[in-house]
């Protein structure tokens, strides 16, 4: 009898060993995406307030249209690198990198109906969203806000 219990226990352990890692990986991935969405929303809300120019947060030299800001972390790669402006200012809005270690990319316009777009390059670290588009491409996480 004890041999059957031992075999059953070994089968159960083997099933858990092979079944649990993919389930946990999906949960971790979903948690990272949720965190990136939350952080991008927070940054977009801060940047959209007063067009991000209140109290001199954006240096006057970078108040051209559009402004591309980079937060802390590793610079993501850009799938369409030639379409994205080379000049990027340091962001006063983001305090930490995205969940994959890349910086958030913040694009602001300062005209009438000003818009702030905050994006994370997602798990692959490549910005696949074309410049000037407000919906995410590939696995990018994109949050858009209008200035208040």
pLDDT digits (tens, 9 = 90+) for 66-105: 667 777 888 888 888 778 877 667 777 767 889 999 988 8
Contact in structure between 104 and 71 (CB atoms under 8 Å): yes
Looking at the structure of the chain, the number of domains it has is 1
Which domain does 66 fall in, by range?
A: 2-146
What mean pLDDT value characterizes the chain?
A: 77
Annotate the chain with three-state secondary structure. CHHHHHHHHHHHHHHHHHHHHHHHHHHHHHHHHHHHHHHHHHHHHHHHHHHHCHHHCCCHHHCCCCEEEECCCECCEECCHHHCCCCCEECCCCCCCCCCCECCEEEECCCCCCEEEEEECCCCCEECCCCCCCCCCCCCEEEEEECC
Q: Work out the pLDDT band at 1, boundaries 50, 70, 90.
A: low
Residue 56 region, left (φ>0) first, then alpha (ψ -120 to 50), else beta? left
């Amino acid at each position: 009898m004890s041999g059957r219990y031992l075999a059953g226990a070994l089968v159960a352990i083997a099933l858990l060993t092979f079944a649990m890692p993919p389930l946990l990986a999906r949960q971790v991935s979903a948690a990272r995406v949720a965190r990136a969405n939350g952080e991008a929303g927070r940054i977009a809300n801060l940047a959209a307030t007063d067009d991000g120019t209140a109290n001199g947060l954006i240096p006057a030299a970078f108040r051209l249209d559009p402004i591309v800001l980079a937060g802390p972390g590793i610079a993501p790669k850009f799938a369409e690198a030639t379409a994205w402006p080379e000049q990027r200012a340091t962001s006063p809005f983001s305090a930490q990198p995205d969940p994959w270690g890349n910086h958030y990319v913040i694009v602001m316009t300062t005209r009438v109906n000003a818009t702030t777009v905050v994006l994370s390059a997602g798990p692959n670290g490549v910005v696949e969203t074309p410049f000037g588009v407000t919906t995410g491409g590939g696995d990018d996480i994109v949050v858009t806000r209008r200035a208040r």
